[in-house]
Structure 1
Amino acid sequence: MEKEVNPHFEDFLFDWNQKFMFLVGGYGSSKSYHVGLKVILKLLDEKRTALVVREVYDTHRDSTFALLEEIVESMDLSDYIKFVSSPMQVRFPNGSKIIFKGMDKPAKLKSINNVSLIWVEEGSELKYAGYKELIGRLRHPALKLHMIASTNPIGKNNWTYKHFFKDERNKRIVIDDEELYENRSMVVGNTLYHHSTAEDNLFLPRDYIHQLEELKEYDPDLYRIARLGRFGVNGVRVLPQFETAPHMEVMKNIAAINRPLKRVGMDFGFEESYNAVVRLAVDHEKSILYIYWEYYKNQQTDDFTAEDLDEFRETQELIKADSAEPKTIKYFRQQHFNMRGSKKFPGSRLQYTKKVKRFKKIICSDRCENTIYELKDLTYAKNKLGEIILDEFEIDPHTLSAIWYALDDYEVADLKEKLKERQRPNPVRR
């Protein structure tokens, strides 16, 4: 039997040395096709049960199920490999079979036994908990176990990036994604990495590649995903002027400010939210906001948080906090903290965000790791029409809330006001 394949996938098709395989790439790169072909070849060679998973079960019929059927027909094996439509299943003459499941019906995963090969298609759509659950379902008394995940890249806060590349919050680094884009294929530990773009699919019409190129003009986020097959910031950044600098450099710059305005803000949290405290310094003349100190913890009662923040009792720095928590503010005041609630009003989220955006630069000390994690690539949430929502974000940025409260009584000079000031005639002196 002969089968024409794309050269970039030849080694991948027959490489079963690693337990985990992660394929990421752009639209039309043929990664899903070659994963499907790889699975079929393996099940023809060995009697196995393979599980193919997507987030929603019903999406299999027009995607993975149809793709596998197309591959089998192209190999002239339709008389030997049978496709059953209800429930969806593929049966091989040697007893191998492929079953299809969706993570939207997790109870049905519990009945699966002796699965030695799992293919997770469109992995970025799954929840991380679901992926870890699938690893637990991968077991067989004799056969070597394999798990393949294929996906288009989206934002770097997706679990696929954090698991296979970098999780900055938890300081877990496996490899740099830029290294994969350069090498195209590499092995790290027990994982095979594979990157592909439309150029790797020799069967793809040139018109399709031209369409992908056009994305660069009107949708740079989709261009990065579809054309380049790369992870990145997925959406419109809230604070494009945000940057980091070495801590000593930040402190030196703050010391050089003529009458710096120093502020402290605090956002409250407990279970999934965080107690976030930030110290800020404002260079009013240059319109620069410096962030030079942070506190960030959760699942901690107020008495332990008060112990952690004991230095504020000594310094008596004013802490502007979330006024939606008057009981908590009262507790801290009873513990001799100089704390007051900030102003909150309808539309305050939007107004506070606009205020922070007015700074020409926002420079954060490299010691404020949680602030950097939340704000560096913070993007706006979108509604069902794909339009950005100006007071909602893709994550809940507790450090941004703390900055809001810290700047409660400070106004950043608006560019329009500055221009008006310049255009006003000088007063006539008599």
Structure 2
Amino acid sequence: MSDKVISLKSIIGKGYKEFWRFKGRYRVVKGGRGSKKSTTAALWIIHNMMKYPLANTLVIRRTFNTHKDSTYSQLKWAAYRLEVSHLWDFKKSPLEITYKPTGQKILFRGLDDPMSITSITVDRGFLCWAWMEEAYQIQKEDDFDKIDMSIRGELPEGYFKQITLTFNPWSDKHWLKKRFFDTEDDRTLALTTTYRCNEFLGEDDRRQFELMSPRRKRIEGDGEWGIAEGLIYENWRVEDFDISKIRKAKGSESCFGLDFGYTNDPSAFIASLAIPIEGSKNRWKIYIFDEFYKPSLSNREIAENIKYKGYAKEKIIADSAEPKSIDEIKGVHGIRRLEAAEKGKDSVMAGIQFLQDCEIIVHPNCVNAEVELSNYTFKQDKEGNWLNEPIDEYNHLLDALRYSTEKLKKRRFNISALSN
């Protein structure tokens, strides 16, 4: 095998020197979009596993099925980027990556199967490192502690144990802030990175950040914590559930909504199931179980996404401000039951107030719904007083949810009759 010399600096770029060299227990990187945090973590893992022939790596996400299109693909890209992909074996069943010369492995797990994490063993060498991508999605600090405890045991001289966490900082109330950013610990490297350190972005990419509103740019561009004050919805939680079981509840209602996007704003589709809350006349538990959230979609592409997800025959309520789009998606692209929302005076606040009185449960797979619920806030006046008017940001899926639940506002039910 002939040696080939490549320049790590030219491949990785600037802004991550400290990250690359740190060998403490916790390496935590919050950053805005386009800040290279995930791609740099992937490059580090491929490079260092080849450097340390006894090291194995565990890669964690909240749900296992999100690895294939994220961490697995990023690590595969990293191997190609480092021009060493011929030395690695990429398997999808089971999902794992193996370094051929030594048998070292990169293993993938999800918090939705906790037993798969606590019982990890490796055939060769030692489990030295873990990478937790989108760590913000890990709601419970206890879940992190379980992973932390899985990286244990004595290592050979020169080796070290390390957990890397990468995430977008959507809310300052998250346990990650208090644990890693509000305290000093010589075992921890806590960094904030931005798109400015990513020299591989084009000028058009940078321009997108400059066009963001100040609040959105602070979070998504500058990697600063989202401020969880003035939240419109605080009546929600993330919880795993089996939607097939929820469908069997008496009085259940399927709700599908669509908000049209533009060049920069995403088109947002949301699917939920609502069941009446016992002891009330018109309060519902709303289970959000599916979504798509994509910018720059044509009407044809919106229809294709709906069909791909299997909802082409469902009644879908869409933004009434786009009648031509509704007509095209219905008449040309075959989504026949697409209807316009009933907008009117104060309809936004009326819809918000209705949803505020419900219980909203978000499936772990619906990441974009979680992000919007964490960031959709009311406006403030110059004196800092909260106004009864929402900021028009982080609301695409939540607008679609309002449209989809219009019919529920008109319902009245007798819970005792439903339970018979």
Give TM-score scaled by structure 2 length: 0.51
Per-residue deviation, 1:360: 11
Per-residue deviation, 1:149: 0.5
Query: Structure 2 residue aligned with 1:148, among 135, 160, 164?
Result: 164
Is contact 2:118-2:146 (8 Å) kept?
no
Specify the code of the residue in structure 2 equivalent to 1:155. Answer: S
1:120 aligns with 2:136: no
Q: Distance in 1 between matches of 2:381 and 2:194?
A: 39
Is contact 2:19-2:27 (8 Å) kept?
no
Q: How does 1:279-290 map to 2 (within 5 A)?
A: none
Query: Structure 2 residue aligned with 1:134, among 115, 137, 147?
Result: 147
Q: Distance in 1 between matches of 2:93 and 2:231?
A: 45
Corresponding position of 1:95: 103
Corresponding position of 2:91: 84
Q: How does 1:12-23 map to 2 (within 5 A)?
A: 12-16=19-23, 18-23=24-29
CA shift in 2, pair 1:210/1:87, >3 Å: same
Q: Distance in 1 between matches of 2:204 and 2:14?
A: 21
Per-residue deviation, 1:94: 2.1
Corresponding position of 1:27: 33
Corresponding position of 2:343: none
SS of residue matched to 1:119:
strand
Give TM-score scaled by structure 1 length: 0.50
Q: Distance in 2 between matches of 1:90 and 1:77?
A: 13
Is contact 1:14-1:38 (8 Å) kept?
no
Is contact 1:221-1:234 (8 Å) kept?
no
Corresponding position of 1:229: 223
CA shift in 2, pair 1:214/1:108, >3 Å: same
CA shift in 2, pair 1:106/1:222, >3 Å: farther
Specify the code of the residue in structure 1 equivalent to 2:39. Answer: Y
Is contact 2:96-2:107 (8 Å) kept?
yes
Q: Distance in 1 between matches of 2:380 and 2:96?
A: 57
Per-residue deviation, 1:78: 1.6
Corresponding position of 2:369: none
Corresponding position of 1:60: 67
- CA deviations 1:117-163 (Å, max 9, x no partner) are 11000100112321111111111332421111011111111121122
Per-residue deviation, 1:86: 1.0
Q: Please, what is the CA RMSD of the aligned residues?
A: 3.4
1:195 aligns with 2:192: yes
Per-residue deviation, 1:111: 2.1
Query: Structure 2 residue aligned with 1:110, among 110, 115, 118?
Result: 118
Is contact 1:383-1:389 (8 Å) kept?
no
Specify the code of the residue in structure 2 equivalent to 1:15. Answer: F
Per-residue deviation, 1:206: 1.5
Q: Distance in 2 between matches of 1:22 and 1:231?
A: 14
Corresponding position of 1:211: 208
SS of residue matched to 2:219:
helix
Instruction: Extract unaligned runs of 5+ from structure 2.
Output: 233-278, 280-352, 358-378, 403-420
Q: Distance in 1 between matches of 2:110 and 2:59?
A: 9
Is contact 1:221-1:235 (8 Å) kept?
no
Q: Distance in 2 between matches of 1:388 and 1:19?
A: 42
Q: Distance in 2 between matches of 1:359 and 1:203?
A: 39
Query: Structure 1 residue aligned with 2:43, among 34, 37, 45?
Result: 37
Corresponding position of 2:179: 163
Q: Distance in 2 between matches of 1:206 and 1:190?
A: 37
SS of residue matched to 2:69:
coil
Per-residue deviation, 1:14: 2.8
SS of residue matched to 1:99:
strand
Is contact 1:51-1:99 (8 Å) kept?
yes
User: Which segment drifts farther, 117-126 or 71-80?
Assistant: 71-80
Q: Distance in 2 between matches of 1:203 and 1:130?
A: 35
SS of residue matched to 2:16:
helix
SS of residue matched to 1:385:
helix
Q: Distance in 2 between matches of 1:13 and 1:359?
A: 44
CA shift in 2, pair 1:192/1:28, >3 Å: same
Specify the code of the residue in structure 1 equivalent to 2:85. Answer: S
**Aligned residue pairs: how many?**
239
- CA deviations 1:62-93 (Å, max 9, x no partner) are 11111111111122212111111111111112
Is contact 1:118-1:148 (8 Å) kept?
yes
Corresponding position of 2:80: 73
